Amino acid sequence: MPSVTSDPPIAGPVQSLPPMVLVVDDDPVILMTLSVELLQAGFRVAEAGDGEEAIGLCATEMPAVVIADYCLPGMSGAELAAQLNTGQFVPVIFLSAFSDERIVTEAIASGAFVYLVKPIDPPRLLPVIQAALHRAEDLRAGWLTQRGEGPFSEQELRTISVVTGLVMERFGLNHIDAFHRLRQYARSQRLKIIDVAAALLDATDRANRMLAAIHAMSGRPVAGPPPAIDRRPAGR
Give me the CATH number covering residue 184. Answer: 1.10.10.10
Do both 79 and 41 map to the same domain?
Answer: yes
pLDDT for res 118: 80
d(CA 184, CA 87): 17
Does some domain include residue 230? no
Does some domain include residue 64? yes
Do both 156 and 92 map to the same domain?
Answer: no
pLDDT digits (tens, 9 = 90+) for 76-120: 888 888 887 655 668 888 888 877 777 778 777 777 788 888 878
Does some domain include residue 227? no
Do both 122 and 24 map to the same domain?
Answer: yes
pLDDT digits (tens, 9 = 90+) for 41-62: 999 999 999 988 998 888 777 7
pLDDT for res 1: 45
**Residue 84 CB neighbour total at 10 angstroms:** 25
d(CA 11, CA 6): 15
Sign of the Cα pseudo-torsion (132, 134, 140, 141, in order): negative
Do both 24 and 123 map to the same domain?
Answer: yes
Do both 120 and 30 map to the same domain?
Answer: yes
pLDDT for res 15: 45
**Domain count for the chain:** 2
pLDDT for res 148: 61
Contact 23, 34 (CB under 8 A): yes
Give the domain-ending residue among 136, 168, 189. 136
Do both 83 and 175 map to the same domain?
Answer: no
Q: The CATH number of the domain where 68 resides is what?
A: 3.40.50.2300
Range of the domain at 45: 20-136
What are the angstrom distances between the C-alpha of 212 and each of 10, 14, 121, 203, 204?
8, 12, 41, 14, 12
